[in-house]
């Protein structure tokens, strides 16, 4: 039940430009390929920046844009090659990073795609929001079956039917009885790791008389907690 990585979902056939590519050629490539941004690489194929449609706007505008300093606007407006107008350093990610980590990085930096680099910073692929979303689009019945089989029967060794996972649009509600109080957070954690799960509501109970976990919870009562994916 290993978490999917960027390397599992990235596109390896990447359209990139070098630092010396003329801006006019960059614009034609974007238009012809119907893409909004391109990685920029040096002569060793290391990612040194990204040039996007937003980076090309100053060439078409008569005054600085609010999100650019005067210096940056002048550089981009007068730039002749990709290295002049690109945004640098680029926000990148490695292939062994998890899909969840890639999603968080995109949100944090406000980007729709990330160049994927190897340990030397060389371009290895590109991952987009669409690539990440595909990982989480799974049928509820498929998720339910995997959780009950892999988490509760195989990982925790419970008999079939001891715990039921009800799934609606990726939200999982767990009901049933586990062997001890200490297994409840473990079950929740393992369930959250299943690809496609977006939220977990636990209504698991422990056997009567189990007092393994510290606290004053009453034996045999539901232990309800709601946990979302990080």
In Å, what is the CA distance from 150 to each residue of 56, 158, 214? 50, 10, 28
Q: Would you state the pLDDT for residue 161?
A: 92
**Boundary residue ending a domain (83, 102, 136):** 136
At residue 132 the predicted structure's pLDDT band, cuts being 50, 70 and 90, is confident
**Boundary residue ending a domain (112, 136, 160):** 136
Number of structural domains (the chain) is 2
pLDDT at 203 over 80: yes
Q: Is the domain of 220 the same as that of 177?
A: yes
Strand 199-205 and strand 223-228: pairing? antiparallel
d(CA 68, CA 190): 45
d(CA 107, CA 218): 41
Assess if residue 1 is contained within a domain. no
Segments forming the whole domain that contains residue 94:
6-136
Assess if residue 74 is contained within a domain. yes
Q: Is the domain of 82 the same as that of 196?
A: no
Q: Would you state the pLDDT for residue 63?
A: 59
pTM of the model: 0.61
At residue 179 the predicted structure's pLDDT band, cuts being 50, 70 and 90, is confident
Q: Would you state the pLDDT for residue 218?
A: 39
Q: For the chain, what is the mean pLDDT?
A: 85
70-127 pLDDT tens trace: 777 788 888 999 999 999 999 999 999 988 788 889 888 988 899 999 999 999 999 9
Helices (H), 6-139: 6-9, 23-33, 53-56, 70-78, 82-85, 99-109, 129-136
Q: Is the domain of 113 the same as that of 128?
A: yes
Q: Is the domain of 101 the same as that of 148?
A: no
Q: Would you state the pLDDT for residue 214?
A: 41
| Cβ burial, residue 87 (10 Å; 0-12/13-18/19+) | middle
14-69 pLDDT tens trace: 999 999 999 999 999 999 999 999 999 999 999 999 999 888 888 776 655 555 67
Q: Is the domain of 58 the same as that of 159?
A: no
């Amino acid at each position: 039940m290993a978490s999917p990585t960027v390397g599992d979902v990235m596109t390896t056939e990447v359209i990139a430009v070098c630092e010396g590519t003329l801006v006019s050629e960059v614009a034609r490539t974007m238009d012809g390929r119907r893409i909004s941004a391109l990685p920029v690489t040096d002569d060793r194929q290391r990612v040194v920046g990204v040039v996007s449609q937003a980076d090309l706007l100053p060439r078409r505008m008569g005054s600085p844009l609010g999100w650019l300093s005067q210096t940056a606007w002048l550089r981009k407006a007068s730039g002749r090659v990709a290295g002049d107008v690109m945004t640098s350093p680029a926000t990148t990610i490695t292939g062994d990073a998890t899909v969840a980590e890639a999603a968080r990085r995109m949100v944090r930096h406000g980007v729709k795609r990330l160049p994927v680099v190897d340990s030397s910073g060389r371009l290895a692929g590109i991952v987009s929001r669409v690539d990440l979303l595909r990982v989480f689009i799974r049928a509820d019945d498929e998720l339910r079956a995997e959780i009950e089989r892999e988490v509760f029967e195989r990982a925790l060794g419970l008999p079939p039917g001891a715990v039921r996972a009800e799934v609606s649009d990726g939200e999982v509600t767990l009901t049933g009885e586990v062997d001890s109080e200490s297994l409840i957070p473990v079950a929740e954690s393992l369930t959250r790791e299943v690809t496609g799960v977006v939220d977990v509501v636990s209504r698991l109970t422990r056997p009567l008389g189990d007092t393994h976990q510290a606290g004053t919870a009453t034996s045999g009562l539901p232990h309800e907690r709601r946990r979302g994916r990080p």
